[in-house]
Amino acid sequence: MDAIKIDGKAIAEAIRARVTQNVALLQSRCDVTPGLAVVLVGTDPASSIYVKTKARQAQAVGFNSQQLVLPSHIGEDELLKLIQELNANDSIDGILVQLPLPGHIDHWRVLEAIDPAKDVDGFHPYNIGRLSAGRPALAPCTPLGVVHLIKTVVSDLNGMDVVVIGRSNVVGKPLALLLGDAGCTVTGAQLQTRNLPDLCRRADIVVAAAGCAGLVRGDWLKPGAIVIDVGINRTIDSNGTARLIGDVAFVEASKRASYITPVPGGVGPMTVAYLLANTITAAVSRRGLSLLTNAGGFTFDQPELENRPATINPHRESRRVLDITAG
């Protein structure tokens, strides 16, 4: 029997619906409209598509969405000045700088310039440090989405063996932290890892995020494993048609896995959904409205927002749960 597909599109749509409900609640009770600024430097086609998608979905859920497109020759200092202006703009709750940046710009300087309280991509060293310590933080969106997908098919992650293939700062490293905090025993691997197939065969969950098309074969998996494919690889098939494939040999893996995410339609939609979730989290937290987050992801139940005077401390831990991701 083939594995059951985990429908990331449907799950992401449910998250967006909850975000929309909570935006309306923020507006009606607190006169707050979350604001998201997306900064694109240059005209890279793929980056342009990503930015338009993020801006469009932000508008659809009711955010004040700003799309700032800058010329590729912009100086680093000028870009940093813009970031500082966005930091100081109280109507902006989230700042996202689309990567990669042109080679003459130090992307770490840019990411570190973003106010950690507005770092909805979760890339600022402050937030990564808190995540490493198991403290509340805005975490990277793709890892949050991966954990959410896993939790839709596994009720208790305690003691589960997980192999994460890929050690990027964007996915692999923060995902290992999130899964560890959820009680998993996590093995971090990469393309050069010795005996990688054997490692995967012992895992209850395999997450492929190495950027290598078709890396994980069906015989790498133990029967009943859960397979999460983060890879997005553009290929040309024998008919000359361009298509997207993941890091997992999907047909083979489906014969052995119990659950598997497709590419496209699996992890990708969850990344944007959690960008929206992080933005409303930042909007609530920045204004002193009680919000409880944790390094294992955001769980939200029917919110009870308090309309109290804003004593903004962007790094304080709040106390009440605002639910945007629960179904």
Catalytic residues: 54, 98, 121
Under 8 Å between Cβ of 42 and 98: no
Other beta carbons less than 10 A from residue 118's beta carbon: 27
What is the rounded CA–CA span in Å between residue 324 and residue 327? Answer: 8
Place of tokens 């078709």: 214
What is the rounded CA–CA span in Å between residue 248 and residue 291? Answer: 37
Residues 6+ apart with CB under 8 A from 128: 122, 137, 169, 174
What is the rounded CA–CA span in Å between residue 312 and residue 87? Answer: 13
Under 8 Å between Cβ of 16 and 60: yes
What is the rounded CA–CA span in Å between residue 263 and residue 249? Answer: 10
Residues 6+ apart with CB under 8 A from 83: 39, 95, 97, 110, 113, 114
Under 8 Å between Cβ of 3 and 258: yes
Residues 6+ apart with CB under 8 A from 268: 8, 232
